[in-house]
Amino acid sequence: MIQRPISLYALCGSQRQASTSRRLLEALQLACPEGITIAICDLIGDLPIFNPDNEGERTPAVVERFAAEIRKADGLIVSCPEYAHGIPGGFKNALDWLVSRDEVPFKPLMFAHASHRGDLVLAQLTDVLQTMSLHIVEDAFLRLPVAGKSDKAQAAMLLEARESGLLSASLNRFRRAIAAGA
């Protein structure tokens, strides 16, 4: 079957420079099968605090840029740590900017989770994202517990996941779900 190229937009819930969530997204970028590209969002840390008074004509330019990237993506990848049993504030703020807009309803989304912990944030994100009418593709869920490991151990684990095809398999399952829903 001929598959059209798809582009994915990856949202990281951690602003940390050495974020393991981001590292997993970067590994997915390197593992992309032919016809899939991933751009990692660098705008989340620049978004102002959400205020419904600043929607519509008053929407900040950076929010419009963020929303435009989401609109043009065929699907989203979310990699987000758990903070205090919940969603990190900065990431929830980014989602809040999207709630009343039309970019996200029915947009396919997969989770890439970088920890053996964090089931509470996964459950909360699922609830929030489904409330926003995103389509979570459970079959593409990827968990690679690199968090808490040394830099060297993380690198080895990510390389092994790439070479074994674990990362590309998730992306292929995501692509199939996107194609089936198109």
Ligand X SMILES: Cc1cc2nc3c(=O)[nH]c(=O)nc-3n(C[C@H](O)[C@H](O)[C@H](O)COP(=O)(O)O)c2cc1C
Query: Rounded to whole angstroms, how far apart are CA atoms 80 and 82?
Result: 7
Least distance from C-beta 149 to ligand X, angstroms? 10
Least distance from C-beta 19 to ligand X, angstroms? 3
Shorter beta-carbon distance to ligand X: residue 69 or 82? 82
**CA distances for 73 relative to 25, 155, 164, 181, angstroms:** 16, 28, 27, 14
Shorter beta-carbon distance to ligand X: residue 128 or 179? 128
Least distance from C-beta 144 to ligand X, angstroms? 12
Shorter beta-carbon distance to ligand X: residue 52 or 86? 86
Q: Is the dihedral of CA 26, 31, 34, 35 positive or negative?
A: negative
Shorter beta-carbon distance to ligand X: residue 21 or 170? 21
Least distance from C-beta 54 to ligand X, angstroms? 27
Nearest to 15 by CA among 98, 92, 73, 74: 92
Residues engaged in binding ligand X (CB under 6 A): 14, 16, 19-21, 81-85, 114-115, 117-118, 147
Instruction: For residue 75, give both structure tokens.
Output: 């699907």
